[in-house]
Amino acid sequence: MAEGLRLEGVRLSQGERSLLEIDACVPPGTVTTLMGPSGSGKSTLLSFVMGDLAPGFRAEGRVTLDGRDLTGLAPEARHIGILYQDPLLFPHLDVAANLAFGLPRGGRRAARRAAVEAALSEVALEGYGPRDPATLSGGQAARVALMRVLLSAPRALLLDEPFSKLDAELRAQMRELVFDRARVAAIPVLLVTHDAADAEAAGGPVIRL
């Protein structure tokens, strides 16, 4: 089956040192969890999938998304969203502009504004558009970051320990929100974590490195 995110014979190495080998298939609407200790190459794998591998690393194998081979494509052409443990909102833009950043091109100005407003109210942040991202709480910023990535209509979502900086209560809420949204959007999700609770909440297969 061609749908979803597939990693075929992927092998990462740094110089002579082999980092990891992996074969995986993440069907749309499901979450696959990668677990492993620090330095096992999890983040490097995500960079590889994003198309953003740092110089000095070598990769073999290929990644396909909905049957399309991603090898050699620029990161912006892959339509793969990512969430890090920091929300990484752009500090010079207000909340609304941060959300508008990922909106696919086209559409009238009013329509774009409306899409941003709708996204804000979906995560209970109505009226937060003109706010400086620096004034948001951790949970609010995490929700804005999530909506920003979803507004860009990604075909897959990568999660790089996205909940590790949140306190316990928020973490549970965010997990639910993120996995729920991913299922609704019917996109494959690849989660990298070292927190077993994340893996459990994701509910999908777990690959240990």
Partner 1 sequence: MLRPLPLATAAILSGPVLLGLLGTVLPAVGLGPLGTGLTLDPVREVLAWPGLPQAMALSLTSGLLSTLGALAVAMLILAGWHGTRAFTLLERLLSPLLAVPHAAAALGLAFLIAPSGWIARLPALALGWDVPPDLLIVQDRLGLALTAGLIAKELPFLLLMMLAALGQTDQRRRMAVARSLGQGRVAGWVKTVFPSLYAQVRLPVLVVLVYAMTNVDVALILGPNTPPTLSVQVTRWMTDPDLGQRAVAAAGAVVQLGLVLAALLAWQMGERLTARLGRAWVWSGRGLAERAARAAGLALGVLSALSILLGIAALALWSVAAGWRFPDLVPEALSARNWMRFGPEMLEVAGDTLALAAVSTAVSLLLVIGCLEAEHRFGLTVGQRALWLLYLPLLIPQVAFLPGLVAAAGSVGLGPSWPLVALGHVVFVLPYVFLSLSGPFRAWDGRLARVAAGLGARPDAVLWRLRLPMLLAPVLTAVAVGMAVSVGQYLPTLLLGGGRVSTLATEAVALAAGGNRRAIGIWGLGQTLAAFLPFALALLVPALVWRDRRGLRHG
Among 90, 135, 180, 208, binds partner 1 (CB under 8 A): 90
Asked whether position 130 contacts partner 1 by CB under 8 A, the answer is: no
Q: Would you say 25 or 88 has its CB closer to partner 1?
A: 88
Among 50, 53, 172, 185, binds partner 1 (CB under 8 A): 50
CB of 2 to partner 1, least distance (A): 22
Residue-level length of the chain? 209
Asked whether position 88 contacts partner 1 by CB under 8 A, the answer is: yes
Among 22, 25, 53, 103, binds partner 1 (CB under 8 A): 103
Residue 118 CB contacts under 8 Å (≥ 6 apart), including other chains: none
Q: Would you say 1 or 54 has its CB closer to partner 1?
A: 54
Sign of dihedral through CA atoms 167, 171, 172, 174?
positive
Q: How far apart are CA 99 and CA 115, in angstroms?
A: 9
Q: Return the ∠ at Cα 131 (arms to 125 and 134), rounded to 5°.
A: 105
Q: Would you say 151 or 201 has its CB closer to partner 1?
A: 151
Asked whether position 109 contacts partner 1 by CB under 8 A, the answer is: yes
Q: Would you say 181 or 201 has its CB closer to partner 1?
A: 181
Buried-exposed string 11-40: b where 16+ CB fall within 10 A, e elsewhere: ebbeeeeebbebebbbebbbbbbbbbeeeb
